[in-house]
Structure formats: structure tokens, C-alpha cells
Chain A
Amino acid sequence: MSKQADVQTATNIKRPKRKSQAKEIWRRMKKNRIAMVGLAIISIILLCTILADVIVSYDYSLEQNMDLRYAAPSGDHWFGCDNYGRDIFARVIHGTRNSLIMGIGAVVVGILLGGFFGSITGYFGGKLDTVIMRIMDVFNTIPFMLLALAIASALGPSLTNVLIALMISMVPYYTRVIRASILNVVGQDFIEAGKACGTPTRFIILKHVLPNAIGPVIVHATMSVGTMILSASAMSFLGMGIQPPAPEWGSMLNEGKDYMLYAPHLVIFPGLAIVLTALSVNLMGDGLRDALDPRLKD
């Protein structure tokens, strides 16, 4: 008991400084070389988005030059020219913004909404779970592309509408993934311990359930970024998304595929851009999942 008294009399006791969570996560992330490569590529791509107009003007990406149709890569036109004689390098750079917004935007919003529905269905269960999940099942019966197309055509063609269509089509999928992941966590005793000491439900979900359920979700999310870019481009191809001549990787691929055999650079460069983006997001996501989990330290 005397030791206790000592502790009480000593005022201003401080908890020894712990490295901040963010720093710890960054430290663990840095150890993962592959994830850092992913992060580097993603940073370059993001930089291209921001500095697109500095690198090359937007008008240049639309400028047609019939003499240079299908021109092969050269010193003047690094990535060559497409079937209208437009500079592919400029189009790839300016396409970054549209493609990234669609790819990452759809996934992020899909996760937020799916996370909301997934947590309430997974955590509370019961009738609410049944009702929400059956509604999601109805959405799931419609093939992803068809659903997105239906929504986009109902809303009319534009970048925003394609984004909305993709988000809505992603929600049922993420709801299911997140619900499954949460069901795994809810059975554990620390949830009950939280209830027993009077932690409000919203804190239990935010502090105990979600951080422990996030791992598989990150993996799913990073894997679907590439898919989303391709779906968005497929919709552009069908005339639902970004309208030509605005540059977008997917629509460039679609336009170029007819000339693939004798002018392969028309598809190689936008294709590479998509692959690089998807790959780097995947690599970074894998590393992030590991870095977020203190159990996998060092």
C-alpha cells in the first residue's frame, strides 16, 4: 500500500513518451522496400496530375496533326502520336487526373458507404442485417458493369455521373467484404469488455471493431483501383463517361486497340499507365496493411 501512496503523492506523473502512431506506421512502412517503390510510383503519378499543365499544355493534348498520324515515338513526340495525330505523351499526362479520380474516387467512396452499411449490419445483426443485406443482394444480382451502365445512362453522360454510377455499384460489394471482416472481430471478448465498462456503441465500433477489421478491406480496395479505372474507361468507350476528345487512359486504349498491330504505341503507353497505377496502389496497399498492424512489428 505504501508504494501506492508514493505514486499518489508524486504529482505530475507523465506517461513516458511513446513514438506517435503515425511515426510508428511510417517507420514500419519504410522497412518494406516494395511498398516504398509503390509509394514512389504513386507519388510520381500524383505529381503528374498536379503539374500536368506545367509539363505540357492541355491544348497540346487535343491538337490534331494529320501528318503525324500513327507517328512512332521520337524525340519530338516521346510516346508517338495517335490516329488523329495527337501527342500521346500529352494525352497520357492529362489523362491521369480523370483516370485517378475515377479509380480512387470510386473506391474511396465505395469503402466509406460500404463501411457504414457493413459495420451496422455486421455489428448489430438481427433484422437490420437481414433487411440491408437482402437489398444489397438485389444489387448484387445485377452484373457490376450493367448496373453501372444503367445508373450512368439514367443520369446522363459526364465524369461525375460515371463516378456516382461506379460508387453505387461498388457499395454492395464492399458492404459484404466489410461485414464479413467485422463479424470476425465482433465475436472477440474485447468487444464485450468494452460493453462491460460502459463504452458507447459508436466508440466500440470506431475504436475496437473497425481498426481490427481494416486489413482485408485495404487489400480489396487496392486491388479494385485498377478494375475501377478499366471499368470507367469501358464506360467512356460506350459513350457514358468522359466525352472525346478529352484524354482518359481507358478511352485511349479503346481507341487504339484497332491499330494495335501496326501502331502498338497507341495502346502500350496508356496501358502501361494503368498497369503502373494499379500495381503501385497494390504494392502500397499491401505494405500499408502490414504497417497498420502492430502485431507484425519488425
Chain B
Amino acid sequence: MEPLIRTVDLKKYFRVYGGMLHAVDGVDVVINQGQTLGVVGESGCGKSTLGRLVLRLLEPTGGQIFFEGKDIMAYDRKDMKQVRQQMQIIFQDPFSSLNPRMPVFDLIAEPLVMNRIYKTKAELTTKIYELMEMVGLADRYINTFPHEMDGGRRQRVGVARALALNPKFIVCDEPVSALDVSIQAQILNLLMDLQDELDLTYMFITHDLSVVKHISDEIGVMYLGQCVERANSKELFANPLHPYTKALLSAIPVPRLRKDVRHQIIRGELSDPIEPEPGCRFANRCDFCQEGCTGTNIPLKDQGNGHWVSCTLYQ
């Protein structure tokens, strides 16, 4: 079966002072209909850029994006507008993602009005009530402004707006990291319920591993613009292979009374993303660095069971 979203060698370089910054460097994403791909990695590794590239909100430097088997890189603006109805985004910060001068009605109505979905005001209003119901917002909020609601409700408005056009694919760009833990759970459950109900496909970007475990079918680990490991969610948590993934997983806080729990600490800083040398980008922080880690790029290699890793330890 053709996956809903597939990218081939997706690249985004930013021109900055001192050269080209490789924000996303040759990432292949495959997401099947109805599945969730979790994308994890530390700050500045290109997760959000990747999410925006897939939606073509940012123009990629190179590579291809296939949506339902069609290369959307070849689309012009008009075609893109059609495709945009199928793919939406939920933002990290519900304070900045909603126009502070618009009440909930206008916020949710924007995609519907701009794409001229409904002809009459009554139809539009019905749809908006339906969407609010779907995301668990009470009717009485219809005329409230974003600043009058708490973070969770605001994020629900963001979800409703993303759902307005009945999309197939939604990029969730850290949708819960700006929320309280209790509200995080509510929003995550909402997203998962909606996925079941509407057969949605998610690309779930986060730095929070406990969140990603909860929601993802498959997980991709990113480091400095590259995907270093990709596997089924359970497989990745049970059997991480890449040293970076191992370190990330050991950093999840575990409530334990004994004090002798050993964390694997990643030393040093992210290496410079501007014009990086070929080779493993994690090499300078890696405890298992050996000959062959630098100099040439290390491709992702299948370790069986759909578990791919780019590391010289497993070539």
C-alpha cells in the first residue's frame, strides 16, 4: 500500500552568516494512513523544520514529498491550496498560534471561510458547533477571545481549526509541551480519540519521550538534521540501538527509591550545524566513537523488524 506521506531525501538549508545551516539533511519519512510517526530529538535538531517542510510551509532545498503517491513538490500554488486542505498543523504555543483579536468562532471559521466550503452562515455555524463539540469545547466559548481561556482550551481551539477542513494528515508540532501535565494528558487523549474516530494520520513532533511513547506507532530519532534511528515504538523503547537513542531513553526520569540508577549522560554540546563534516554527527559526543565514524556518511541500515539505525556499531 502506498503510504499517505513519503519524503525522499528531504533537505532544508538556511543561508546564515558563515555558510549553509543544514537544518534538515536528507530525511526520509514514511507514514501510513491512520498511523502516527513520532519525531523526537533535542532542541535545534530540525524537528519543527521537518514538520513545516512536509506541509511545504517552508520550501525544501532538495528532495521530494509524496502525498498519496503524488509529488507535491511539483504543485503550483493553486494545486497546493487544494492539498493544504488535506494536511494541517497544530502548533506548540497556543498563546501565539491564535490571533488575539479574533473570537473562537472566527478562529475556527477561518479555514472554512477562506476555502469557501459553506455557502450559508447557518451551515458554517453548524459546522463550528460540531467542531467545538468534537474537541470538547462548550458552546458558550463561541464568542470568547483566546486570552479569556486557559491553555488547554486554547489548544482545543487550535485542534478544532486544524480539523475544520477534514484533513487526512496533521503535523502536531509539540502540541502539549506548553501545557500543564494534567492538561497534556487531556489533549493527548483527545488527539488519540480523534485519530480513531476520523482515521487521522499524525506526525507527532516532540522532545518529550514519555509523550511520544504514549501516542506513536513508529518513532524517528533525529540528531542535527538527520534521522539516526527509526523503529516501531515498542521496539525502540525495548531495544534502542543508536548510542544517542540510548542516552535519550536513559534520561527519562524513573521514580525509583534506590539511588544507584545510572544515567548515561551526554557530554558536550551539539556540534555546529553550519556546513557539517561528513560522518556521524554525534561522533564528538559518543562514547563508542571508533574509526570509520567520521569522514563518510553512515546510511540507515535495516536491523530487521523494521528497525533502522545509522551507526557503525551495527553496519
Contact = CB atoms under 8 A, between A and B. Distances in A.
A208 B114 CA distance: 13
Interface stretch (A14-22, A94-102, A155-163): A14-22
Contacts of B164: 197
Interface residues of A, number: 34
Contacts of A73: none
B26 interface: no
B84 A4 contact: no
B133 A7 contact: yes
A189 interface: yes
B296 interface: no
Given A18-B143, A189-B91, A190-B96, A3 B84 contact: no
A270 B250 CA distance: 78
Contacts, number: 97
Contact of B126 (A8, A18, A293, A294): A8
A59 interface: no
B259 interface: no
Nearest to A3: B133
Interface stretch (B17-25, B99-107, B280-288): B99-107
A196 B87 CA distance: 8
Contacts of B122: 11-14
Interface in B5-58: 52, 55, 57
Given A196-B84, A196-B89, 19 more contacts: A1-B197, A7-B130, A7-B133, A12-B122, A15-B143, A188-B96, A189-B91, A189-B92, A189-B97, A192-B89, A194-B110, A197-B111, A197-B165, A198-B84, A198-B111, A199-B110, A207-B99, A211-B99, A295-B100
Interface of A: 1, 3-4, 7-8, 10-16, 18, 188-190, 192-200, 203, 207-208, 211-212, 293-295, 297
14 contacts: A12-B122, A188-B97, A190-B98, A192-B52, A192-B89, A192-B91, A197-B88, A197-B114, A197-B164, A211-B99, A211-B101, A212-B100, A294-B100, A295-B100
